[in-house]
A = this chain, B = another copy of it.
């Protein structure tokens, strides 16, 4: 058995192997999962979580890496969670991304973790919040969650963030594509990366136009800014950080940050509950209780709905 309190203490002291071990314990649903989560609970809730999403090729890893550099310069401890909901066979691209991150590998103030869909139970929607909680409790002040592509699971993961950044690049994700992918609803900050390329202004203009098409904003509403960057050269990164900090300040001023975190916590609890209930029902296969109910349904003495009621009753009372 792992000494959880010692491990948590080491993680808070910035020891990367302790952080790695804790994340493995929570994503692997180890028998000590609950002990770990109970130990982390009073320590978390302090990190600012930024989600970065966008199609492959827009420069997410480069932008993430540049953001890490900027926040490190501000003296903040940074955690990076790189989530790849595609198959493990996208390892090639991921490896390339990791290389771009390698400048931070020896910095004890930065913790970088990749996460694939392979996890069991509820998949990423289940594992990502747990990993974020570990990084948070370990003392990361900023957590950057980078996801590949824009699909439903990415949108779900974006909902884990305090601030969601959507990245585009000229000629790749133009306005129509963005609208189709549903990203016009999730971005708090938009970044047009590779802004030195042809079409960057057109992409920004089109995006600006589409963001304006939404319903009328009330005074005080947040209007997502559009930042132009050339992340590979570090250009526009200060402006990006400034946009993030502005959004954070706006959220705090309007009570939005607390509300988002409440919704997030509720969703986390709900996901764990659904997962636990499904597992309990799965355990009942071949169980004499379900078997006995099935017999009564077969004999006609009980209808399947009444049987389901009894099953649910049994799930919680000593299930």
Report the bound CA distance from A297 to B317 in whole Å: 24
Report the bound CA distance from A305 to B265 in whole Å: 11
Closest to A315 in B: B316
Question: Closest CB of chain B to A34's CB: distance in Å?
Answer: 5
Residues of B within 8 A of A34 (CB): 303, 305-306
Known contacts A300-B45, A303-B41, A313-B316; is A265 also within 8 Å of B294 by CB? yes
Verify if A268 is at the interface (C-beta below 8 Å from B): yes
Verify if A252 is at the interface (C-beta below 8 Å from B): no
Known contacts A269-B290, A269-B308, A316-B317; is A295 also within 8 Å of B42 by CB? no
Select one of B129, B277, B300 contacting A277, CB under 8 A. B277
A312 adjacent to B276 (CB under 8 Å) = yes
**A78-90 CB contact bits vs B (8 Å, 1 = yes)?**
0000000000000
A41 adjacent to B301 (CB under 8 Å) = yes
Question: Closest CB of chain B to A37's CB: distance in Å?
Answer: 4
Identify which of A34, A268, A297 gathers the most chain B CB atoms within 10 Å of its CB: A297
Verify if A91 is at the interface (C-beta below 8 Å from B): no
B281 adjacent to A273 (CB under 8 Å) = yes
- Chain A, range 41-68, C-beta contacts under 8 Å to B: 41-45
Verify if A156 is at the interface (C-beta below 8 Å from B): no
State the oligomeric state as a number of copies: 2
B304 adjacent to A268 (CB under 8 Å) = yes
Verify if A200 is at the interface (C-beta below 8 Å from B): no
Residues of B within 8 A of A133 (CB): 304
Question: Closest CB of chain B to A289's CB: distance in Å?
Answer: 10
Select one of B266, B303, B312 contacting A40, CB under 8 A. B303
20 of the cross-chain contacts (CB-CB < 8 Å) are: A34-B305, A37-B303, A37-B305, A38-B303, A40-B303, A41-B303, A41-B304, A45-B300, A261-B298, A262-B294, A265-B295, A266-B290, A268-B304, A269-B311, A270-B290, A272-B305, A273-B281, A273-B311, A276-B308, A315-B316
A sample of 9 more A-B contacts (CB under 8 A), given A45-B299, A129-B304, is A41-B300, A41-B304, A261-B298, A266-B285, A266-B290, A270-B308, A270-B311, A272-B305, A313-B316
Top 3 closest A-B pairs, CB basis? Answer: A272-B308, A41-B303, A266-B294
Residues of A within 8 A of B (CB): 33-34, 37-38, 40-45, 129, 133, 258, 261-263, 265-266, 268-270, 272-274, 276-278, 281, 284-285, 290-291, 293-295, 297-309, 311-313, 315-317
